[in-house]
Amino acid sequence: MLKIVTVNKNEKFLRQKSEIVTFEQLRTARVQSLIEEMLQHVSEDDGEAGLSAIQIGTPLQIFIFENHSQKNEKPEAIPVINPELKLLGNATEIETEGCVSIPKIFDKVERHKRVSLSYITPSGKKIKKTYSGFTARIIQHEYDHLQGVLFTDKIAKSSGKTHQETKTNRETE
Ligand SMILES: [Zn+2]
């Protein structure tokens, strides 16, 4: 079982920027088994569509996302190392998000509809692909984790209160 770092326990840790994985690091058993564990975790948990290494205590630029763009197929969990993300076009959409590192909070976030993702695979191969919709949303959420950004920073204005405001209101009640 992987131990998840939450904002309640260690927000400061989650707020740091994850470090680039060097080719030397990528070849180590430690990093390879970390990727394996993360892959297994996301594949087995139906509620989780992605996971970043920083969420399990390792601030390296590694995340897993589920590819939901293959119709009629079980979403495939894909490991991503040292990602570069490009937001494509101006089209955005607002959907509800949650995060295992932020228990019990679900709120609407505006994300780009289409993104281009470049990364390397666990075996060191370079990949560049375009994703849209829910899969593009997962990728943007996980990419943010590597920058120390949480979805609660981006809660859509249209949903009314921000996380901070909600928290303040609750505290003052
Ligand atoms: Zn998250």
Binning pLDDT at 50, 70 and 90, where does residue 83 land? very high
Q: Determine the distance separating the centroid of ligand 1 and the alpha carbon of 76, expressed in angstroms.
A: 18
- 82: CB partners within 8 A, 6+ apart: 20, 21, 61, 119, 120
Q: In whole angstroms, what is the distance from residue 150 CA to residue 102 CA? A: 9
142 is catalytic: yes
3-state secondary structure of 148: coil
Q: Which pTM value belongs to this model?
A: 0.89
pLDDT in tens, 8-38: 999 999 999 999 999 999 999 999 999 999 9
Q: Domains along the chain?
A: 7-172 (3.90.45.10)
Q: What is the 171 CA–ligand 1 centroid distance (Å)?
A: 24
Q: What is the pLDDT of residues 130-167, one digit of tens each?
A: 999 999 999 999 999 999 999 999 997 755 544 444 44
